[in-house]
Structure 1
Amino acid sequence: MKRWLSPKLQLSLGLVSLTVSLILVAASLGLLPNEERAELEQRGVTATALAVQLAVLASRNDTAAIKDTIDVVVSRNPAILSIAIRDAHGNILAGSDRHLTHWRELPDGKSTATHIQVPLFNDDTPAGRIEIAFRPLTSGANPLDLGPALFAFVGFMAVTGFAGFYLVLGRALRELDPSRTIPKRIEAAFDTLAEGVLIIDDDERVLLANRAFKHNVLTGGELELGSPASGLPWLSSVAAPVAPSDLPWRVALEHEHPVLGAELSIRDAGGGMHRLVVNATRILDGSGTARGAIVTFTDVTALHETNMRLSASVEELRKAQRHISDQNLELQYLASRDPLTGCLNRRTFFEQAEALLTEAIRTRRPFVFMMVDADHFKRINDRFGHAFGDKVLVGLSDQLQTFCGAPHLVGRYGGEEFCVALIGLSKTSAEHVAEQVRRSVSNVGTWLPGSERVTVSIGLAPLDDPRDKLLDLVNRADKALYAAKTEGRNRVVVERTKDAAPTSTVARAASRAGWRCDP
C-alpha cells in the first residue's frame, strides 16, 4: 500500500477486499447453491431413511427381510452400487452382491460422498454399522464459475461496501483515538501505579490500560485500545467464565454505585491463573452523565496461594489431632480392659464401681456386688490345656456381659474370678440374675472337648447400710462366694446382712429361670 493512502482509506480497501474474498471463498467451498450439493443432500436423506428401515429389521433379526430390502433399493436406485450391514465384529450379516468390490474401508471412519456408513447401537453399545456405496458424483460443477448474477453481486458489494466502510471507519477512528480522550501526561501518571488500571467508555471499550495492567494482569496477552474490556478471558474464583452482566465495571455503570473488592481471575499465556481484587467507579462529565469507568486490579495470587497452603496445613493439623484423639481413645479403652476377656480390668472396674456405689447411695437406688468364680478351673487347665481355659474365661465374660450389661459393670477380678456391680436391682432381682447366669453357664457344652460342662459359684452382697464402703461389699460377696464353694459349688449364695450367715438361693432361683437383667 502506498504511503499517501490514509489509514481510513487503507482500512476501507482492506475491508472491501475481505468482503469480495469471502464471497469467492464461499463459492469455492460450495456454500452457494449448486447441483452437486443438492445431490449430496439427497444421498444423506436416502442413507438416513435406509438406515432406519434396516435398523428396525435388524432389531427383529429378520435377515430375509433385510436382504430383500437391500436388493430392492439397489435395483431401483441407480446411484447406489451396493449395501451391506455388519455386526460389531465386522462380519457382514447381509448385503448386496459384489459389496466387497464396491466398498472401501474409511481410514478415519468418516463418510464420503461415495461411501456412507451409519453406526448401529443397542442402547448405548455399538452393535454394528450400515454401509452404502454410491456411484461418483456426476454434476462436476465448478464452484468458481461465476455467472452474470454473481459477478454483478460481487461488483455491487465492492462499490457500496467501500463507500460504507469509508464513512463508518472515519467516524469510528475519530471516536477511538485515545490521544483525543486521554492526554499523554495522564497515561504517564497511571503508568507509575503498581495496580493495574483500565479506563473504559460507556460502551466498555478500553481507552487506557496502564503498564501494570499490561505486564502484571494481562501477562503475555495483547490488548488493543478500543477493544471491549469484556472480551478478555475473565474467570470467576472457580475458574468458570463470568457472565458480562456480572463484570464489576458493568455493574458500576448500570447501578450507579462503585463496586469494591470484587474477585476475578484471568489466565496468562502459560495457562496460570491470576487472582485479582477489582474496584470499579463511574466517570462522570460536568452534567453528571456517566461517560465510562475507571477499573483497578490488585493481583492477590501470591496471597491466595499462601492462604491455601495455610488452610491445607490447618486441615492436616486437624486430621493429626483427630488421629491422636482416636488413638488416645483406643489406648484408654485398651488400658481399661482385660486383654483376654474384653471386660473391665481390675483397676478400672473398682474405679467405676466406686462411682456407681456413690451414685446409688445419693439416689437411694439398690446396689448389689457379685463375685463369680469358675469351679475346678485348675483341673480344666490341667486336663485340657490353657487354650481351653482361656476359652472358658472368654465365654464366662460373654455370659456375664449378656445378662449384666449397662448400666451394670463387669470386671475380671483375677484368674478365673469375676466381679459384677449391679445398680437399680433389688436383692431378689439380683439373686435371679445370678441364678440365670449360673444356669446359662452350666448349659453351655461348646467350651470344652467332649461337651463337658463348666459350672460357676456366685456370691452376692447387697447394700444394706448407706455407710457401707465398696470394700465392705467386696468382703461380704467374697465370703458368700466362699460359702457357695464349701456348700458344693454350682450355686448362688447371698450374704444378707453383716452378721447373718450366707444363704444359698439355688432352689428359689430355679423357679425364675427366665428372668433377665434389666434395671
Structure 2
Amino acid sequence: MTRFLSPRLQVAIGLLSLTVSLIFIGSALGLLPNEGRAEAEARATLSGALAVQLASLASRNQAAAVQETIDSVVERGPDILSIGIRDAEGHLTASSKDHVQHWQDPPAGMSTPTLMQVPLLNGDTPAGRIEIAFAPLRDDSMLFGLPSKLLIFIGFIAGAGFAGYYFVLARALRELDPGRAVPDRVKAAFDTLAEGVLILDDEERMLMANRAFADKMPKNFDPELGRSASDLPWLSQAAQPLAGEQLPWRIAMQTGHSVLGTAMGIRDSAGEMQRLIVNATCIVDGKGVARGVIATFDDVTAMHRTNEQLKASIHQLHLSQAKISEQNEKLTRLASSDPLTGCLNRRTFFEQAERLLSVALAAGQQLSFVMIDADHFKAVNDEFGHLVGDGVLIGLAGLLKECCRPPHLLGRYGGEEFCILLVGAGDVEVEYWAEQVRVAIAGVRDWLPGGGRVTVSIGIATLGRAPCALADLVKRADDALYAAKSRGRNRFVNWKSLPRKSKAADIAPVAERSF
C-alpha cells in the first residue's frame, strides 16, 4: 500500500498515528482529565462510608435505624437509585422500596460505577453484602468500547493534525528535496545517456533518475524522488518477483563491492517486458563509508528477443535433424531387413557375418553357422493359403529373434529358410541351443488353423581349428540341413556327425558361391 503513497503523505500519516497513540496511552495511564472516573471514585468512597454506617447499625440489631438510614440516603442522594442489604444466603434483609427493579448482579461479582457492592464480614466469615444501585454516569456514553468525549477529541486531533502535518511536511520536503543533492548540470549529462542511470542513498531511496531510466519504468511509476527503488516491481529472468536480498544495489551496499551483469526485468508503460542488465557500484565517502549506490540499466530486450528466436530456430533444426535421422534409420532398416519377417535380408546378413568371422578367426573365437528350414512348408501354403503361410514365417521369425539376440545374427536365407550365426558357441552349446529352438517351435499351436503344429529341420556347422571361409560354413550347414530332412525332418544334424564320404564335396571351391 505504501508503494502508492507519496513520501510526505506517508510521513504525515505516521506522525498522526503517533499522536493518536500517545493520546490513547495517556488516557490509559490516567493522565487525561476524566469526569466519569472521578465520579466513579467518589461513588466508591460514598459506598464504603455508607457500608460502615449500615454495618454498625446492623451489628447492634437496630433494624429500624438501618431502614431509616437507607430511605434517608436514597431520598437525599440524587444519583443513588436504591440500597439493599443481603444476608449470607442471598436474602434481602433490608432495602429501599424499588431495589429489586434497580439491582442486577454485576458480571463476575465485581462492582461497577452503577452497581456497587460491599461485603459484610463476621470476623473472617462472610455475613452478607450491601448493594447500592447508582444512576448512569453523566459522561458514560460509549462508542466502540471508548468514552464518546475521548473519541470526539481524537477525531478533532486526527482531522486538524493531519492537515497541519501535511502542510508543514510539504513545505519542509520542498526545501529538503533529495534531488537537489545532484546538480542540474549532472542531471542533464545523465539524461544524454542511452542506458538508464539511478543514484540511491544508503537507504535505497532514489536521489536521481535519468530520462532513459524513467522511460523503462511501468506506467504507474511515480517520478517523484525519495521513494525506495526496491518498491518497484522488479522481475527475475523467469518473470517471477525478485526477492529483496537479490537486488544488486542492496548487495553492493552490504558488501561494498560492485555487482555486475545482473539480469533483471520490468514491464514498461505499454506492459511489455523490458530485459535489463544491471550494474551496481557502491558510493563511498573519504573515510570509506558507504553513502549510496549508482546503478546502470542496459536494455537488452532486442538482443533477448533475437536470442529467443535463435533458440527456437536451433530447436527446430534439432527436430529436423532428429526426423532426418529417424527417416535414415528407417531407410537403413528397409534396405537391410526382410520386409515380411523383419530379419536381416540375405545381403546384409552375409556382409555382417563376414566381419564377425574375420574377428573370430583373428581372436581364436568359437563360431557356429545354423540353417533352419520349415518342414513341408509348401503343403502349408497349398492347404491354408499364402496368407497363413506368411503368418507362419512371421511367427517363426519372432520366436527365433527371442532365441537369437545380439551379438548373434539372424537372417532370412530365402523362402521358408533362415540362417543364424552364433558368436562364441561351440558344438555343445549350439546343439543344446538348436534342440531348445526345435522343441519351442514344435510346441506352438496357434500358427495353423485347427491347432496344427509346424516343425523345423536344422543344420549346424561350427568353426573348427583350421580356418575356413564363410562359404565353407554355409555349405557344411546346408549339407547338415539336407541330412536332417533325409532322416525324417523335425531334428537337427551337426555337419561334424556326417560320414566322411558325405563331407567329400566340402573340398570343392564353394567360396565362389553367391549369397
- TM (norm. structure 1) is 0.63
Give the aligned length.
371
Pairwise CA distance, 1:165: 5.5
* Structure 1 CA distance for aligned equivalents of residues 258 and 428 of structure 2: 83
* Structure 2 CA distance for aligned equivalents of residues 441 and 147 of structure 1: 104
Quickly say closer, same or farther: Cα 1:169–1:318, change in 2 above 3 A. same
- Partner SS, residue 493 of structure 2: strand
- AA at the equivalent of 1:297: F
Pairwise CA distance, 1:185: 1.6
Pairwise CA distance, 1:288: 4.2
CA contact (8 A) 1:372 1:457 kept: yes
* Structure 2 CA distance for aligned equivalents of residues 480 and 157 of structure 1: 114
- AA at the equivalent of 1:277: I
472-481 or 485-494, larger mean C-alpha shift = 485-494
256-265 or 297-306, larger mean C-alpha shift = 256-265
* Structure 1 CA distance for aligned equivalents of residues 205 and 383 of structure 2: 100
CA contact (8 A) 2:445 2:451 kept: yes
**Alignment correspondent of 1:410:** 410
**Alignment correspondent of 1:401:** 401
CA contact (8 A) 1:259 1:279 kept: yes
Pairwise CA distance, 1:346: 0.9
Aligned positions of 1:99-498 closer than 5 A: 148-157=149-158, 170-176=171-177, 178-179=179-180, 181-218=181-218, 221-496=221-496
- Partner SS, residue 234 of structure 1: coil
- Partner SS, residue 329 of structure 2: helix
**Structure exhibiting the larger radius of gyration computed from Cα positions:** 2
357-366 or 259-268, larger mean C-alpha shift = 357-366
- AA at the equivalent of 2:372: V
Calculate the aligned-residue CA RMSD, in Å.
3.5
441-450 or 337-346, larger mean C-alpha shift = 441-450
Pairwise CA distance, 1:443: 4.2
Pairwise CA distance, 1:142: 10
Pairwise CA distance, 1:170: 5.0
* Structure 1 CA distance for aligned equivalents of residues 348 and 219 of structure 2: 68
1:271-295 CA-partner distances (Å, limit 9, x unpaired): 2221111122233344544332222
Pairwise CA distance, 1:445: 3.8
Quickly say closer, same or farther: Cα 1:403–1:309, change in 2 above 3 A. closer
- Partner SS, residue 200 of structure 1: strand
Quickly say closer, same or farther: Cα 1:207–1:445, change in 2 above 3 A. closer
CA contact (8 A) 1:458 1:491 kept: yes
CA contact (8 A) 1:460 1:493 kept: yes
Gap runs ≥5 in structure 1: 1-10, 24-140, 504-519
**Alignment correspondent of 1:34:** none
Pairwise CA distance, 1:470: 0.2
CA contact (8 A) 1:496 1:502 kept: no
- TM (norm. structure 2) is 0.63
- Partner SS, residue 296 of structure 2: strand
* Structure 2 CA distance for aligned equivalents of residues 155 and 448 of structure 1: 105
- Partner SS, residue 189 of structure 2: helix
- Partner SS, residue 413 of structure 1: strand
- Partner SS, residue 270 of structure 1: coil
- % identical equivalent positions: 49
- Partner SS, residue 464 of structure 1: coil
CA contact (8 A) 1:221 1:268 kept: no
Gap runs ≥5 in structure 2: 1-7, 21-141, 504-515
Pairwise CA distance, 1:413: 0.4
- Partner SS, residue 500 of structure 2: coil
* Structure 1 CA distance for aligned equivalents of residues 265 and 365 of structure 2: 69
- Partner SS, residue 212 of structure 1: helix
Quickly say closer, same or farther: Cα 1:347–1:174, change in 2 above 3 A. same
1:185-216 CA-partner distances (Å, limit 9, x unpaired): 22211111111112222232222221211224
Pairwise CA distance, 1:299: 0.9
Pairwise CA distance, 1:221: 3.2
CA contact (8 A) 2:12 2:165 kept: no
* Structure 2 CA distance for aligned equivalents of residues 168 and 248 of structure 1: 32
